[in-house]
Structure 1
Amino acid sequence: MTNYNDTTYAILGILTTDCKSGYSIKQFIDRSLNHFWKISYGQIYPTLKFIVQEGLAEVQISSNPGKPDKNEYNLTSKGRDVLKNWLEQPMKQLPIERNEILLKLFFGRYQSHKKTVSLIQNYKQELEKRYQTYVAIEQSIMDFNPNDDDAVYWLFTLDYGKRTTKAALEWCEYTLDKLFIKEE
């Protein structure tokens, strides 16, 4: 069986939702996956073309009066099988985090103490905003998709985001406490 890249699998998964066009796929990514998986328009359209070439999806042209025609993609049974097979495979490796804050802090001895404190404080503020975004997304899912079969899984991934963000906020508090102790 052919192994595809993660973007291919992500788009196959998105095609299981009501998102059928490149535009709606990008909107879905921006509203949901973007917090843990980024895919650009520049990746979406070539991947959709590839998925069709591989027989994983079929494309149909949709016409609406007064609007330009658009391509709509639907998974084939082969596409569903490929997605299911990938989902059932064990994880290849733990995700590796690239975190600019940690990289800068690692070399923090070469910047002023004040700048280091400011860096962590700004990071903490951004994390607080992210956490509030997650809370809003959670409320939206509960309000608009409570009976959707996918909703429970969306909430699992959202809970992961909330928990890791909360842990990062606690880390900020701890680090700031240590930095202020060092300042004295």
Structure 2
Amino acid sequence: MSEPEDVSRGLPATSWAVLGMLTFGEELTGNDLKKWADWSVGFFYWSPSISQVYAELKKLEAIGFVESRVVSEPGVRGRRLYAITERGTDALRTWSRDAPVEVPVLKHGVMLRLWMGHLNDPERLKALVAAHIANVELQLRRAELHADHTDDEPAWSFPRMTLRWSVRYFRAEIELARELFDEIDNASAEFAKVADHDQFGSPLPISPGRWKNVEAHVHSLAQDNSDI
């Protein structure tokens, strides 16, 4: 007899995030799940659009991990409520326990702009960093508020733990960003030593392609470590 098909294979982490939000004993609408994500998961993983939430729910219902029902009230448009199934709970528990630990992918828009800081002037770069700090301070206050409002709910002890982690993360991000003000000045002073530029004003490195050698060295070290 052939093995049953593993329908969970290939599901993205966002699918598991939606399933996870349905494991707290409540039936939720798509809008509820969007708010739930913004309230908690959005601080450290995923702040979805409502269309993304419904796309995930449709996919999860099709494979039997989620079920739904429509609740109608007089004079009110019917609401579709979603709940996780036993099959979905089992699959989620297995993923949570056994999925490989992946390296977090950081997509930092401000750092990308600083990386190409030679196209800008130091004061403008500092203004970008200041705006970034203001944004993170807002996120910090929100995370603190959300964490504080979970203190009397034992069922949310693990979400509370991740919210507290988010608070520490945002504080660390603010400190790292503040260090950039002096580093921008240092980088600008070093950049002034560039001798040659192309016709567009971009800097010409002393050793073109040097980064390739560095990458080859890093790859070699990683290979050596994997053989140990």
TM-score range, shorter chain: 0.7 to 0.9
RMSD: 2.0
> Can you give the 5+ residue segments of structure 1 that lack an aligned partner in the other structure?
none
Alignment of 1:125-164 (within 5 A): 125-142=134-151, 146-149=152-155, 151-164=156-169
Aligned to 1:54: 63
1:147 is matched by which residue type in structure 2?
E
Deviations 1:18-71 (A, max 9, x none): 242112111212222222212221122222222222111222221222211122
Q: TM-score, normalised by structure 1?
A: 0.87
Mapped partners of 1:20, 1:14: distance in 2: 9
State the Cα distance separating 1:83 from its structure 2 match. 0.8
The residue number in structure 2 matching 1:13 is 20
2 CA distance for matches of 1:99 and 1:105? 10
Matched, 1:32 2:77: no
Aligned residues: 180
**Which segments of 5 or more consecutive residues in structure 2 lack a partner in the other structure?**
1-5, 190-228
Counterpart residue type for residue 106 of structure 1:
W
* Greater share of residues in helix: 1
Query: Do the aligned residues in 2 keep the contact of 1:19 with 1:28 (CA within 8 Å)?
Result: no
Alpha carbons 1:128, 1:169 under 8 Å: kept: yes
Paired residues of 1:60 and 1:73 also in contact (CA < 8 A): yes
| Largest Rg, 1 or 2 | 2
Alignment partners' CA distance in 1, 2:144 and 2:161: 13
How far is the alpha carbon of 1:87 from its aligned partner? 0.6
Contact 1:57 1:74 in 2 (8 A): yes
Q: What is the deviation of 1:109?
A: 2.1
CA distance in 2, matches of 1:19, 1:112: 52
